[in-house]
Amino acid sequence: MKLVGKVKEAHGLRGELHVLIFSGDVSWLPRLKEFGLGALPPRGEDPAADAVQKILKCQKAKPFKNGLIVKAEELTDRNAAEAVEKWGFYIADELLVSEEGEGIYLEEIRGFTVKDATQTTLGRIVDFSSNGVQDLLVLEKAGGGEAEIPFVDAFLKKIDFKSKTVVMDLPEGLLDLGKLDEA
């Protein structure tokens, strides 16, 4: 299962959850049959293989703000929902596979190497963020430290799934502007 969000809070009295989805994209929601809840990994780290502690059946779900409201059969009241607040929200891997010609799901490129147009390695994608306008790739830079870079068509040149590489043409100095480790 893939980590796509976290339980923000209980919603209502009947065990519903308000889930914040990291990318804000819930296009997979109509196909959601079950989901996992479990530990959130430290920033930049992949979830542990045993991170999912509960797998729940999805009774109903709908988009809501930057995420969704979901009701699991197993969560019957607000107390049960409050017990899983701040837990990671996981969905089946196959829900996050884009079709040819579609936009990609960010999770598909987690761990990919980012290179510039001259094939110089800039770093590795370790996480994702958003500035409200666009998605940001959190990059563990080749020279150390982290930076956020906008994941926009103007900078993106190529995604190679076979070599797990993203080629970007970034403006000079952008990696220094997006530093996370000195904030």
Q: Residue 169 gets which letter from DSSP?
A: -
pLDDT at position 42 over 60? yes
CB neighbour class for 81 (10 Å; exposed up to 12, middle 13-18, buried from 19): buried
How far are the Cα atoms of 4, 6, 143, 146 from residue 10, in angstroms, in the given order? 18, 12, 42, 33
What is the set of domains in the chain, with CATH numbers? 2-96 (2.40.30.60), 106-177 (2.30.30.240)
For the chain, how long is the longest CA-to-CA vector?
56
Up-side HSE of residue 36: CA atoms within 13 Å toward CB? 17
How far are the Cα atoms of 7, 136, 144 from residue 181, in angstroms, in the given order? 27, 16, 10
Copy the structure tokens of residue 135.
């998605």
Number of residues in the chain = 183
* Tens digits of residue pLDDT in 49-105: 788 999 999 999 999 988 999 999 999 999 999 999 999 999 998 898 777 667 788
Give the residue from 168, 6, 16 showing the smallest Cα distance to 82: 16
pTM higher than 0.75? no
**Confidence band of 133 (pLDDT split at 50, 70, 90):** confident
